[in-house]
Amino acid sequence: MIVEDEIYLAQSIAGKLVDFGHECDIFATVNDALAQRRCYDVILLSTNLSGQDFYPIINRFKNEIILLMVSYISNDTVTDPLKSGAKDYIQKPFMIEELIRKINHYHDYKRLRQECDLYEEYLAHQMKNVRLPDQIKCKLPIMIKTNYQKLADAYAFALAKELKRPMRYLPLSDSSWLEKLNGIESDCIVYMPEFQTLKKSERKTFLAEVEGKDIISSTTESFEEEGLDSIEMISEHKIFDRTEILTIDDYVKFIIHIYQSKFPDTELSKKLGISRKSLWEKRKKYGIFKKK
């Protein structure tokens, strides 16, 4: 959408944008622009609309990319509109290549922001049942010993967020982990789970490489190596991974813990192929208490 009362200027801008593959609607008045029900990716808004208040357009489309077209820079034409929700400005006269660069930049930013929101929502959903200690700060590098991989994952993400640091994910099951580690930016925390997958010689290489670096690793096996601090994080209600084979007792314990709040005892015992009395006995054996 182009909102500009200099019609020849608006048509010139629209024609050049069409050459770059964009579709454009032109409106000379604020009221005409507000009357539209179409969705627009970008709003090019002139701040020099004779006798017209352009703020209703900013309020209406503040969740979209609003680029101000200004003849001069002042509080009225730039500073205040930016505070109200416009994203950026471009000063007339301008080269169309500069405008295209700004449009592409904010398109990319919006897409990345939406992707980040999606991943954060997904992580929050995946980790919602994971309980972390109140104090999570620690000295890096660190090895997390755990019986539940998701617990270590949640800790690594929480620590990076607490420290306000970017984090890179580099599992040690990736055969090229050493090469990739050397190419990661120095300001990043590197999360390197699956230490248990390394061979003995590879473990020595890993321990030498992580010394003095901001690295979090994890293992589901015992870890007693000198030179790398470790913390133990154990889940009382161990939840299995798809690649893990559980004992029958562990599987039954898992099913009871996860599904007892979703099914009545009659249905849950039926699904497990046991009696209600046996279900009660297993709760007692495993120390699982049903919430009422």
Evaluate whether residue 80 is within a structural domain: yes
Domain co-membership, 192 together with 156? yes
Per-residue pLDDT at 75: 96
Domain co-membership, 102 together with 152? no
- Segment 1-47, tens digit of pLDDT: 999 999 999 999 999 999 999 999 999 999 999 999 889 999 999 99
Apex 247 CA angle, 243 and 251, nearest 5: 80
Apex 161 CA angle, 62 and 190, nearest 5: 120
Domain co-membership, 56 together with 113? yes
CATH number at residue 204: 3.40.50.300
Domain co-membership, 93 together with 9? yes
Domain co-membership, 87 together with 193? no
- Segment 98-151, tens digit of pLDDT: 999 999 999 999 999 999 999 999 999 988 878 888 888 888 999 999 988 899
Pair type for strands 167-169 and 189-192: parallel
Per-residue pLDDT at 100: 96
Evaluate whether residue 243 is within a structural domain: no
Evaluate whether residue 63 is within a structural domain: yes
Q: Provide the percentage of residues in the chain whose pLDDT is more than 70.
A: 96
Segments forming the whole domain that contains residue 279 = 248-286
Evaluate whether residue 241 is within a structural domain: no
- Segment 206-217, tens digit of pLDDT: 999 999 999 999
Domain count for the chain: 3
Model pTM above 0.75? no
Domain co-membership, 106 together with 12? yes
- Please state the rounded mean pLDDT for residues 48-59: 94
CB-side neighbour CA atoms (13 Å) of 223: 26
pLDDT reading at 53 higher than 60: yes
Those residues whose C-beta lies under 8 Å from the C-beta of residue 254, and which sit 6 or more positions away, are 237, 238, 239, 240, 246
The string of DSSP codes covering 138-161 is -PSSEEEEES-HHHHHHHHHHHHH
Evaluate whether residue 130 is within a structural domain: no
Evaluate whether residue 136 is within a structural domain: no
Enumerate the β-bridge partners of residue 218: 144
Which is higher by pLDDT, 160 or 128?
160
**Mean model confidence pLDDT for the chain:** 90
Evaluate whether residue 171 is within a structural domain: yes
Between the CA of residue 175 and those of 88, 181, 197, 228, 237, what are the distances in Å? Answer: 45, 11, 10, 22, 32
Domain co-membership, 105 together with 28? yes
CB-side neighbour CA atoms (13 Å) of 18: 11
Per-residue pLDDT at 67: 98
Residue 179: band (very low, low, confident or very high) from pLDDT cuts 50, 70, 90: very high
Evaluate whether residue 266 is within a structural domain: yes
- Segment 208-254, tens digit of pLDDT: 999 999 999 999 888 887 778 899 988 765 555 555 666 788 788 87
Domain co-membership, 103 together with 185? no
CATH number at residue 75: 3.40.50.2300
